[in-house]
Amino acid sequence: MRIIRPDVNHYLKWAYAEAASSVAVNHQRFPCRHVSELYRRVRTRRGHAPAVGAVARHLAEATHWMLSKNEPYRERGVKVGFVQGGVSATLSWAL
């Protein structure tokens, strides 16, 4: 059993859980996405709720590394210059 830390940002935790729930709902529409594969892999072993938690944690960790390295999100198995759907997946911050 995991212990939930009391010092987390509850708004961010909620946002990542909502994003992970969206992945769970749409995992069949986007089966090749890494998060969809992660959801399916964990769901078959542990169930829906732990799978949503695993996806939320993956999204949080990906966001942390994107912001700390100042790099855009790169899907596993996709070439670096690839732009899916005509929209680039980059972060831009107005400082």
DSSP of 73-93, one letter per residue? ---TTS-TT--GGG-------
Higher pLDDT, 75 or 85: 75
pLDDT in tens, 11-61: 999 999 999 999 999 998 988 889 999 999 999 999 999 999 999 999 999
Q: How confident is the model at residue 74 (pLDDT cuts 50, 70, 90)?
A: confident
pLDDT for the residue 16 = 94
Mean pLDDT of 68-83: 72
pTM over 0.85: no
At 28, is the secondary structure helix, strand, or coil?
coil
- pLDDT(87) > 50: no
Structure token digits, residue 53: 């938690």
pLDDT for the residue 41 = 95
